[in-house]
Structure formats: structure tokens, C-alpha cells
Amino acid sequence: MSDQVIITVATTGAWPGKKDNPAIPLTPGEIAADVYECWQAGAAVAHLHMRDDQGQGTMDKEKFRETVGLIQEKCDIVLNLTTSGDLKATDETRMAHLIELKPEMASYDCGSMNWGHNDVFYNAPQFLEKLGQVMQANGVKPEVEIFDGGMIYNSFYYQKKGVLKAPLHYQFVLGAPGGLEATVRNLVFLQSLIPEEATWSALGIGKGHLPILYAALALGGHIRVGLEDNVFYSKGVLAKNNAEFVARAARIVREMNKVPAKPDEARALLGLKTKGERQ
Ligand code: ZN
């Protein structure tokens, strides 16, 4: 078990607005400045969503391009772009930024589910096949997002089919309404299902945030924090910014005799492709 822990920051997500937490970064400039602070605080990976000029989730590849450019001027953090930033986006729009920008990582949501008891999060089999192929063709490492146990078995199916290539990297997303609750028992269950060679990370939305963070570290996993998942830092207290979450995570990692991985260490742990290999 390596003592390096990858801290991913999920800065923005598709839903929270300034009314939920005024600190949430929405524009390319705000997101880039926020990511830079998080990198200084110990984040190795930034998971990015874009918003349109009205603040709604968008898969507009020009917003991704602008934001990625601004971040890369300032630091070497690993970029992990969402493929699920707008429930109404077409399959093509969800993949266009991967083909153009060839990011090191992107999310791969390994199944469909009801979303927030009022919508459907579609990840149809045809889309997942195409998405896996597009990622392979462009050298993008999938972060296989798991909201429910069945999604792990989907990932085995796509691995067998060659759509996903081992070793897989999983992100256990716990506490999303419609998916598994953010409990330590659920995390232990999910982690027990994946192969030894896989790497994994976890996050808890809401009151499960810290229990999942501590449990993931205890089980040898990596962790994700940020305003996408939690607008509150503690009960009734809004987070000042994303860097506050990252700084706390880095502190806890060190208290547990581990070290926050640097971006290049995260690249090695996850087997990411170099820029040359992604062309
Ligand atoms: Zn996301």
C-alpha cells in the first residue's frame, strides 16, 4: 500500500449556485483561480465542470478550452473533465471536448440512474461503448464513477469487451439521491468488489462526507473533496472556498502518516499517458 494519497478537488459540479455558497467558482477565470489555490493546498487532480453565462451546467467545449488553458498557465495539476455536466446534452456533446482537448482524465459514469428524484441520468449502453472507445483513442484515462453496486458489474462487462482497459480507476460517489447512501458499510462493500489491481477514490455527499473520507484513507484509497459534493464545511457552516476542503484533507492525510501525492506522483499511480502519447 503506497503512502501517497491523491486528493481530487471537484470545484464546481453541475448544480450548486452562488445562492448555495457564494464561493463556488463558475466562470473559467474563477475556476482557474480556485484550482490554483487548491493545487497550492495539496490537490493533485481537479475534476472540472463548466457553466454557461447564466450559471447553468454546460458541456460547451469552448468553456473547457478556456478554463484548461488558464489552469495550465499556472500549475501542473492533473485535469479530469466531466462528461456529465448537462443532463440534456447529446452523446456527441458529452465527448467533443475529449477529442479536442485530450485531457489526462475524464469521468465515465458506469450506468444510468434516477437523479435527485426528479430526473434521469442517462448513460445508455451505446453511449458507454462509444465513450470508452473515444477515451482510448485519445489517451484519456477514465475515472469510472460508481453510484451503485451494479455499476461495478457494468465496468467488468466493458473491461471484458475491451471498451475499458485494466487497471481501472474507480471513484465511489456516495450519497447522491438515487444512488447508494454515504455510509462506511457501503464503501466497504463497493471496495470489496473491485479487483486488487484497480485504484480507487471515494467521496461522500452531505453528512457522510467526513466518515467516507476517513474510511477511504483507512482502506488505502484516494479521496475527493470540494463544492461539487458539499457546500458546507461543517454542520451549518458554509465552506469558505474549495482550498479550505483541500487543506483539511491534506492535514488528515498527514495525521494518518500518509502524504498528499504531487500531480506527477498521481500521474504515476494512475498510469496516465503523457502529452505526446495523447496526440
Ligand atoms: Zn462531476
List pLDDT tens digits, range 70-125. Answer: 999 999 999 999 999 999 999 999 999 999 999 999 999 999 999 999 999 999 99
> pLDDT tens-digit profile of 24-77?
999 999 999 999 999 999 999 999 999 999 999 999 999 999 999 999 999 999
Instruction: Report pLDDT for 1.
Output: 55
Q: Which helix (H) or strand (E) holds 5?
A: strand 4-5
At 253, give phi and psi (nearest 5°): -55, -45
- Alpha-carbon span 204 to 212, nearest angstrom: 6
Residue 3 confidence (pLDDT) above 90: yes
Give the start-to-end residue ranges of the domains of the chain: 4-278
Q: Which residues pair with 200 in a beta bridge?
A: 170
Higher pLDDT: 257 or 275? It is 257
**Distance (Å) from CA 147 to ligand 1 centroid:** 12
Whether the CB-CB separation of 195 and 166 falls below 8 Å is answered with yes
4-278: which CATH number, 3.20.20.70, 3.40.50.300, 3.30.360.10, 3.30.420.40? 3.20.20.70
Q: Could you report the per-residue pLDDT of 142-187, keeping only the tens digit for each?
A: 999 999 999 999 999 999 999 999 999 999 999 999 999 999 999 9
* CA of residue 145 to ligand 1 center, whole Å: 9
Tell how far the Cα of 15 is from the centroid of ligand 1, in angstroms.
10
Question: pTM higher than 0.95 for the full model?
Answer: yes
- What grid cell was written down for 278? 495523447
Three-state secondary structure call for residue 232: strand
Q: Ligand 1 center to residue 173 CA distance, Å?
A: 10
- Look-up of cell digits 469521468: 107
Question: Rounded to an integer, what distance in angstroms lies between the CA atom of residue 62 and that of residue 44?
Answer: 24
